[in-house]
Amino acid sequence: LRRCVDVVEGYVLARPDVSFRLGSEGRVLLDVSAQPPGDDALGRRIGEVFGEAFEKLLVKVDEGGSPLASSGQRFAHGFVGSPATARGARRSFVFVNRRLVRDRAVLATFYRAVRDEWRSDEFPSLFLFIELLPFDVDVNVHPQKAEVRFRDPRLMDRLGETLRLALARARGEEAAPLRTTSSLPE
């Protein structure tokens, strides 16, 4: 039953614009409403599924400059958890073009980013959406379509940097703002 709920949770996260209701033996296991479109739809959906308190422990992952930038789409976006989410149930959801995958390369990049940024083997929650043009990803490398192959080998480096920045924010670290001088001494 837990495996069934896990699968449905994947669909629920992939499509915040769709309502879902899952029941078993007269009990409602999951009941979520369609979220209105917007940048915060995924966050609201995560809050519906895992609780508002959990949602507040998440920090946005966002990377612009994607191969789809001209169309206004992002390459990688989602949420990474604060260190508090590393305790308890591990929640790692990775989607490529809205398909839930268990891709070893992406997860290895995430684990490496956590070790580099946090110097820890305690891994926070991850809700990661990777959006690529269809010809940039091969989905036919696993019989169950659970893994993918990326055509651009530099993609994992770019993803690692994006994740490291989000992990720093999740620990409360922000880049110091650059101060501009109004006039230079003569």
Torsion sign (Cα): 118, 119, 122, 128: positive
When pLDDT is averaged across residues 126-144 and rounded to a whole number, the result is 84
Angle at 106 between CA 105 and CA 107, to 5 degrees: 95
Taking Cα atoms as reference points, which of 171, 160, 155, 52 lies closest to residue 122?
171
Alpha carbon of residue 37 to chain centroid = 18
Taking Cα atoms as reference points, which of 134, 128, 108 lies closest to residue 13?
128
Mean pLDDT in the chain? 85
Reported as a single tens digit per residue, the pLDDT across 37-93 is 887 899 999 999 999 999 999 999 987 544 444 444 568 999 999 999 988 777 899
Alpha carbon of residue 139 to chain centroid = 19
Q: In sequence order, which ranges of the chain are alpha helices (DSSP H)?
A: 2-14, 41-50, 52-55, 104-118, 155-170
CB 125, CB 80: distance < 8 Å: yes
CB 21, CB 13: distance < 8 Å: no
User: Which pLDDT score is estimated for 159?
Assistant: 93
List Cβ neighbours of 131 (8 Å cut-off, separation of 6 or more).
Answer: 66, 68, 73, 74, 75, 76, 77, 97
Taking Cα atoms as reference points, which of 124, 77, 71, 81 lies closest to residue 96?
77
The model carries a pTM of: 0.83
Reported as a single tens digit per residue, the pLDDT across 95-107 is 999 989 988 899 9
Instruction: Name the pLDDT band for 117 (thresholds 50, 70, 90).
Output: very high
Burial annotation 5-37 (CB, 10 A radius, 16+ → b, else e):
eeebbbebbbebeeebebeeeeeeeeebeebee
More reliable by pLDDT, 90 or 12: 12
